[in-house]
Homo-oligomer: A and B are copies of this chain.
Amino acid sequence: MLEKIDLGVTIDKETYRQEKERLTTRLGELQRTLHDMGIPVLVLFEGWDAGGKGTLINELLMPMDPRSFRVYNFKKQENEEELFRPFLWRYWTKTPEEGQITIFNRSYYSDLFYRKSTDTLSMQRLMKQANEFEQTLSEDGMIIFKFFIHISKKEQKKRFDKLLDNDITAWRVTPRDKKENKHYDKLYKKVNRGLELTDNDCAPWAIIEGEQKDYALIKVLSILERRLEKAINDVKMTPKIKLTPLIEVGDKPFQSKILDGIVLDQVISEEAYQSQIKEYQKQIRLLQFQLYRERIPMIIGFEGWDAAGKGGCIKRLTRNLDPRGYTVYPTASPSDIEKKHHYLWRFWRDIPKNGHIGVWDRTWYGRVMVEPIEGFCTQEEFDRSYREINEFEKQLSDWGAIVIKFWLQIDQDEQLRRFTDREGNPDKEWKITEEDWRNREKWELYKIAVDDMLLKTSTVDAPWVIVEAQSKYYARIKVLKQTIAAIEKRLDN
């Protein structure tokens, strides 16, 4: 993409002055409209060192209301918290909420461009992740800009020399910078190829000729103006419509019947349970240490009918674990801040460091169960969810995580018994709410949703394990056994 760029373009002082005034006023207006409409905007700045990103960002911020923007600066080198997490983690967690503009000064593209080729995950795979990230967020309504500020090798050297000539600024030119200029041509090829591979409809690259700063600024502002105007009009033309429920009861042809096929008569004696659970808990503690030593992360999700025994399974699973190495994340309704982000945002935020185990009591699968049934998402959002979830879990698995998901199955009669038991027991009645009874009435709807979910999201890298949970003892043993098997399988490789 860079080879066709004419770096000699300029703009005259008078046009600059007029356009700048017009555009900054206009951007202030647009920002307020975006804020009122709840549209999130992400603006990435990439480019050569000394290209002038900092100045451009400051000029861009001038007309903006500071209550609605945030700037994040990313170094080429990640810190420990970040290195121990998936590639996109530090970006996902900083995406803007509805109505906010977020500016990334450098981004995952710097990670890609400056990454040494010796890294284990291939460049290709990370580019794919970058594309998925942008597609997921832009389909969710985010407007994404990617600016690459381009200057020539000669111009870069000139700018470095100018800094070096002055005692106060000389320190800013690091040995790394000098090296970048020396190897400009090699890096150019890598960057050029990377730009091509990540130029997509939802987040196209804009190459900014950076040698004359006036020209660069007006070009950036004009591109922002044009696309933001279009985005605002598009949203006005197609308001989000939420129909409820998105799932209907009734036999569809070829409807899968995974849940109906589950046999629930397994039992295990108390005695066998007591001795086996102790044994497995010992085993899993030792395996946890091995995961820690080999820096393998593990993601365990629990889903299942209300009162299926998720909490009890999690307690037995974690009982002997070293608390320094695992965290249980209970998933409740999203907070007001979480509601203003993509639904995967809060799960990204909690992804543990490598070597650690994250256990979710309910998960991101709420998106394809409660949300379509209660009308918390639109048809379009629902339609994208399976793909988004599969991509999310694939990214975790690419990062190196063992990903496993348990579906705890009980039948309607058993659920009724447990509900009634809870209501009669002062130690347990807090576990049962009006909502549980309401959800129970929607059993048939949930059955259809769950059947689809199990079918579409059980992947080689992130399988669903069905747990027959009619017997609590049986269920707990199976969860421990399967977790152990998953870890051992990985360690054997």
Whether a CB of chain B sits under 8 angstroms from the CB of A238 is: no
From 265 to 322 in chain A, residues with beta carbon under 8 angstroms from any chain B beta carbon are 286, 289, 293, 311, 314-315, 318-322
A336 interface hit (Cβ, 8 Å): yes
CB of A25 within 8 Å of the partner chain: yes
Chain B residues in 8 Å Cβ range of A330: 66-67
Chain B residues whose CB sits within 8 angstroms of the CB of A28 once the complex forms:
427
Give the distance in Å from the alpha carbon of A321 to the alpha carbon of B168 in the complex: 15
Task: Tell me whether A54 and B324 are in contact in the complex, defined as CB-CB below 8 angstroms, given that A62-B315, A335-B337 are known contacts.
Answer: yes
A242 to B29, CA, bound (A): 40
Residues in B whose Cβ lies below 8 Å from that of A441: none
**A493: CB under 8 A from chain B?**
no
Q: Answer whether residue A361 sits at the interface, using C-beta atoms and an 8 A cutoff.
A: yes
Closest to A59 in B: B319
Binds B, one of A73-81, A115-123, A213-221, A449-457: A73-81
Contact bitstring A422-446, B, C-beta under 8 A = 1, else 0: 0000010010000000000000000
21 contacts between A and B (CB under 8 A): A25-B427, A29-B427, A32-B430, A54-B322, A58-B318, A58-B319, A58-B320, A58-B323, A61-B323, A66-B314, A66-B328, A66-B330, A71-B323, A79-B79, A79-B81, A81-B81, A168-B286, A168-B289, A171-B289, A335-B336, A337-B337
Whether, in the assembled complex, A93 has its beta carbon less than 8 Å from a beta carbon of chain B, the answer is no
CB pair A54 B311 closer than 8 Å: no
A interface majority secondary structure: helix
Given contacts A32-B430, A66-B314, A67-B332, contact A323 B54 (CB under 8 A): yes
Closest to A106 in B: B324
Do A66 and B29 touch across chains, with their CB atoms under 8 A apart? no
Residue among A57, A71, A324 having the largest count of chain B Cβ atoms under 10 Å? A324
Q: Number of A interface residues at 8 Å Cβ cutoff, please give it.
A: 47
- A378 at interface, CB cutoff 8 A: no
Which residue on B lies nearest to A310, using beta carbons? B66
A322 to B: closest C-beta gap in Å:
5
A66 touches B361 (CB 8 A): yes
Residue of B nearest to A321 (CB): B58
Contact in complex: B172, A289 (CB < 8 Å): yes
Which residue of the partner chain, among B71, B80, B332, contacts A80 with CB atoms under 8 Å?
B80
Q: Write out the residue numbers on chain B whose beta carbons fall within 8 Å of the beta carbon of A169.
A: 286, 289
The answer to whether A379 has its CB under 8 Å from any CB of chain B is no
B residues in contact with A32, CB < 8 Å: 430
For A286, the chain B residues whose CB sits under 8 A away are 168-169
Instruction: Kindly identify, within residues 347 to 363 of chain A, every residue whose CB is under 8 Å from any CB belonging to chain B.
Output: 361
Residue A390 interfacial (CB < 8 Å)? no
Given the complex, which residues of B lie within 8 Å of A289, measured CB to CB? 168-169, 171-172
Is the beta-carbon distance between A73 and B324 smaller than 8 angstroms? yes
**Does A471 sit within 8 A of B, measured CB to CB?**
no
A73-105: contact bitstring with B at CB < 8 Å (1 yes, 0 no)? Answer: 100000111000000000000000000000101
Q: Chain B's nearest CB lies how many Å from the CB of A45?
A: 9
Cβ proximity bits A400-441 to B, threshold 8 Å, 1 near / 0 not? 000000000000000000000000000100100000000000
Cβ of A244 < 8 Å from any Cβ of B?
no
Shortest Cβ gap from A68 to chain B (Å)? 8
Check if A198 is an interface residue, CB within 8 A of chain B. no
Q: Which residue of B lies closest to A172 (CB)?
A: B289
- Further contacts, 14 of them, CB under 8 A, given A62-B315, A73-B323, A79-B79: A28-B427, A54-B324, A58-B320, A58-B323, A66-B314, A66-B328, A66-B361, A67-B361, A79-B80, A81-B81, A103-B323, A171-B293, A172-B289, A335-B337
CB atoms of B62 and A324 under 8 A apart:
no
Is A327 part of the contact surface with B, judged by Cβ < 8 Å? yes
Q: Tell me the bound Cα distance from A486 to B81 in angstroms.
A: 34
Cα A67 to Cα B58 in complex, Å, equals: 43
List chain B residues, Cβ under 8 A from A314.
66
Q: Which 7 pairs of residues, A with B, have the shortest CB-CB distance?
A: A67-B330, A73-B324, A57-B323, A79-B80, A66-B328, A66-B330, A54-B322
A324 to B73, CA, bound (A): 5
Q: Would B105 and A323 count as touching, CB distance under 8 A?
A: yes
